[in-house]
Chains A and B, each alone.
Chain A
């Protein structure tokens, strides 16, 4: 199975901060990488697919990059509605696997 490792597991940031979350795959996955946002008690929401493509309706403050084994999700200017947990997920091979999540909290 492909292991997905996210870092950090949590972070504290202020409104307006630029935030970067990293995700590393245990083997190469090309660009078959997605990012999701999840708020408490809610279903995950798709943000990014194919490592860097923005899902329809998602604001451009979210961006993704990377290929192979190393990927990043960046939020350019953190807003109150962005405080949530973020997950990466590989869909290069079965079983599909997720990172452990990064909880973004208010400083």
Chain B
């Protein structure tokens, strides 16, 4: 079955970077885009960026330009989201979401809590 499974929770200090993974299975990895979405505690959903696994092209929300890097490893069918220069406002649950057959977010990872605290 199609699924995307994320890495575990992280605790980082302000100014550090975090790298979250999203491992895909059950489908042809190169064929479908993967997005990253985050949700701060008690808040709504915020789209961060997208990667095309077939050619690794990405597009990020302007808000994260210069801080967000999305990459993929085709050998392990894994997408990575790295956010740098972390601040307390980056404390959130980060989700990967697969655009599988509807041009929307058809399948979601379980979420990864990133806590930024000194």
Contact = CB atoms under 8 A, between A and B. Distances in A.
| Same complex | yes
Interface of A: 32, 34, 36, 43-46, 49-50, 53, 55, 87, 89, 91, 94-101
B59 interface: yes
Nearest to B48: A95
Nearest to A35: B104
A45 B98 CA distance: 12
Contacts of B35: 96
A44 B61 contact: no
Contact of A43 (B46, B59, B110): B110
Interface of B: prevailing SS:
loop
Most buried by A among B61, B102, B103: B102
Given A95-B61, A98-B46, A46 B109 contact: no
A55 B102 contact: yes
B44 interface: yes
Contacts of B105: 34, 36, 44, 46, 89
Contact of B104 (A34, A95, A101): A34
Contacts of A45: 108
Given A95-B47, A95-B62, A89 B104 contact: yes
